[in-house]
Amino acid sequence: LLRETLTLWNIPHTRSNLQRIKVVMDENFGVEKFPNAVFQRIQNVDADIVILDGVRWEEDVSLVRRFPKNILVYVTAPPQVRYARTILRGEKVGESKSSLEQFLEEEKAANELLIQKIGMEADCIIENDDSVEAYKEAISYFYKVCFA
């Protein structure tokens, strides 16, 4: 929804803009509005499993827990690994050109501060600090344990 909002307003999908828009929306409309919108969207999804990516706020955790069958998974990696992957993906505008220092500075934004704390409360933790194959094995194991 944050990306959609930026697109509608013709605002670039930079990491900074994605971080700021949630804070601005919360400050002006209340912290419950965004999770409620996401909840409504998920209610309309015709799928057995829905993955909600980017849980960064306590209200996101509450959103996940509103569903009768829920699992909160924390996928983590060291900052240097996340930075290298961010550069390779180039998913957001300007991201592939950012420095490690800039990346680490952006990790101090409000929406980044609770990630580790929320992760420690997760039902499952996956360390994603190895190869893609190792990550796929960890996901496969998680799926077998939780859904088999």
Q: Which residue has the tokens 């996101």?
A: 60
Q: Please give the model's pTM, rounded to 2 decimal places.
A: 0.81
Q: What is the average pLDDT across 12-38?
A: 91
d(CA 25, CA 91): 23
> For residue 140, what pLDDT is reported?
92
Between 90 and 9, name the one with better pLDDT.
9
Would you give the DSSP letter of residue 11?
-
Cα within 13 Å of Cα(85), Cβ side? 12
> For residue 137, what pLDDT is reported?
93
pLDDT digits (tens, 9 = 90+) for 105-129: 888 888 888 999 999 999 999 999 9
Q: What is the average pLDDT across 39-44?
A: 93
> For residue 13, what pLDDT is reported?
92
d(CA 57, CA 118): 8
